[in-house]
Structure 1
Amino acid sequence: MHGLWWLVALAAFALTACATAPPAPVAELAPSGKLKAAINFGNPILAMKDAASGEPRGVSVDLSRELGRRLGVPVELVTFTSAGKVVEAVRDAQVDIAFVAIDPVRGADMLQTPPYVIIEGAYLVRNDSPIRRNEEVDQAGNRVVVGNGSAYDLYLSRELKAARLVKAPTSPAVSDVMVAQNLEVAAGVKQQLEADAKRLPGLRLLPGRFMVINQAMGLPKGREAGARYLESFIEEMKTSGFVAQALARHGIQGAAVAPPGR
């Protein structure tokens, strides 16, 4: 009798789980019959080209393929070199899902999940620069290079009062633009700027960070059922260890798995 009670309880739990888990809205997430996923090479935390094959790899690629597997549809990876172009593609429904920073400006053009990864924004200056702390960047006469349409562009456009922003075509180009135009500061993904400081002589990172970036999944507006499914999907990917394992598999350091949501 005791064993029967446990069987009944287990069955009830399974029914409850099935009732609360949102169904997979394939018509909203893959209306063409395949999942079109925007992959941004402008953020090396999320995606990069494989050195041997040239194919996309990274945590955003892994999440896209896992989502496609669950939906039972093929995945088409649509690659971009800047976050600004990704946002435009989502807004115009040219892609079904994307991986972008949470920002109120972007939220006006798309639906977004809770974050799955947290990364840091940092500043890069010349070795002989008088700037020693993040708080010293926002001064008259300082020009700060950002990737056009990037999370750093959106954030610093609101926050900087005295320094002036200069737009590079993509986030990976900010350090080269800074050096070529003899500008004072470059802003971007901390890991990207660390690599640039090793690649380009005479540069150093300012200690710490000037912002924390919450990376989420996004999808076109009007697909609310898809957004609810993606929220559940992202929470499972975090709690199951999928995101942490993907970051480790691709050798990503300095990024943290976002805490559980509601």
Structure 2
Amino acid sequence: MTNDLTSLARDGVLRVAINTGNRALVQQDGAQLRGISPALAQRLADEIGARLEHVVYEGAGKVFADAERDVWDVGFLAIDSTRAEKIAFTRPYIVIEATYAVRAKAAFQQIGDVDRTGVQVLTAKGSAYDMYLTDTLQRATLERFGTPPDSFAAFRDGLCDAVAGVRQSLEGFFEGDTNVRLLPGALTSVRQAMVLPRRDDPRLAALDAFVERAIDSGFVKANS
């Protein structure tokens, strides 16, 4: 099945979309990218004998927006039924949690406390938790703003009453900020998968088998 994936590379180069806005999957240190997504990208490039080229984004919404623009060959996104109308998902390779960051003195104690009349919730535009909140919030008002780091900064600067995000990303951004705290528990669990930019791509089965091998061999666990 590995041979079926060699056609993903163009002139020996595999372009892989990497979302640096999700610290659970990617950690950036200057030009260096670490974490499970870059590790899987390199493993795939090595298997098919291609040179890896990172196509770096600061938010999942931008990765998805570029799916039809021939900018990347393989990517990493949260599984979502709306996105699945356009792109192809493998099985999930990891499941991560999203939660809220709130003001330290706010009355919110649990996830459910946030969905109240008059509360404004901030989310990164096009993120998996944006889509989840769009479907599930009943009383609070949802505001969308840029990439995850953009939305975190806007919340820090006073916008809205809570901001949604991947727990690790929120922890990294607000580390040492005594004015902000994270709520316990999970707002939603996000299933992360490898993706191809066309829904009907015939190479999906081979890419799914690649993910399966990476999980079964312990590679995903060792690099998460």
> TM-score scaled by structure 1?
0.80
| Cα distance in 1 between the residues matched to 2:32 and 2:41 | 14
Q: Could you tell me the percent identity over the aligned residues?
A: 34
- Listed as ranges, the gaps of 5+ residues in structure 1 are 1-20, 248-262
Q: CA deviation at 1:195?
A: 2.8
Separation in 1 of the partners of 2:34 and 2:174? 24
Any idea what the Cα deviations from partners look like across 1:81-122, whole Å, max 9, x if unmatched?
A: 111111112233321000110011111120000000110011
From the two aligned structures, give the one with the greater strand fraction.
Answer: 2
Runs of 4+ in 1 over 3 A off after TM superposition: none
The structure that has the greater radius of gyration is 1
Mapped to 2, the partners of 1:222 and 1:183 lie a distance apart of 36
1:43 paired with 2:22, answer yes
Residue ranges of structure 2 left out of the alignment (5+ in a row): none
How far residue 36 of structure 1 moved from its aligned partner, in angstroms, is 0.5
CA distance, structure 2, for counterparts of residue 179 and residue 114 of structure 1: 35
Give how far 1:174 is off.
Answer: 2.5
* 1:197 Cα offset (Å): 3.7
Deviation for aligned residue 1:182? 4.2
Q: Where do residues 56-75 of structure 1 align in structure 2 (5 Å cutoff)?
A: 56-75=33-52
1:57 offset after TM fit, Å? 2.2
Mean Cα deviation higher: 83-92 or 119-128: 83-92
Whole-Å separation in 1 of the counterparts to 2:9 and 2:157: 43
Match of residue 172 from structure 2: 195
Which structure shows the higher helix fraction? 1
- Residues 71 and 223 of structure 1, relative CA distance in 2, 3 Å threshold: farther
**Partner Cα separation in structure 1 for residue 173 and residue 209 of structure 2:** 37
CA contact (8 A) 1:112 1:219 kept: yes
Give the RMSD, CA atoms, in angstroms. Answer: 1.7
* C-alpha distance in 2 between matches for 1:203 and 1:65: 36
Which of 25, 30, 49 is the aligned partner of 2:5? Answer: 25
* Aligned twin of 1:18: none
TM-score (norm 2): 0.93
Give the structure 2 partner of residue 172 of structure 1: 149
